[in-house]
Amino acid sequence: PELSEEPPAEMVKMTKSKTFQAYLPNCHRTYSCIHCRAHLANHDELISKASVISLFFFFFFRVNVGCGPAEERVLLTGLHAVADIYCENCKTTLGWKYEHAFESSQKYKEGKFIIELAHMIKDNGWE
């Protein structure tokens, strides 16, 4: 089944005072920006926390994240077109989005987001 980048309507609540910031439900374990505590992703949307150097998490869905222009970069897994992503609340660069993978074995990354561990914190319901 094809997955959508947009969250289900019941998952995101927009605040009236800050229309640029969305909040995920309190009942879900979430990841937030370590710098300003804006919600970034629901734990259920985590695709993988395994990485070559274990410094980032791989997500499908995210909130409060802006995206810059795409550019080609050679990463550890080859050439990709990626766009830096940033927290829309505090403007901190958080990681990147895979726009295009040039190698067929890396196509599964297209449209996914990498958020570096150094820029996020666990919120809501973690024990």
Neighbours of 119 (CB within 10 A): 21
pLDDT tens-digit map of 51-65:
444 455 666 556 788
Q: Which domains does the chain have, with CATH numbers?
A: 30-123 (2.170.150.20)
**Exposure string for 70-94, b = 16+ CB within 10 A, e = fewer:** beeeeeeeeebebbbbbbbbeeeeb
* Residues above pLDDT 70, as percent of the chain: 60
| Model confidence at 3: pLDDT above 80 | no
pTM above 0.95, yes or no: no
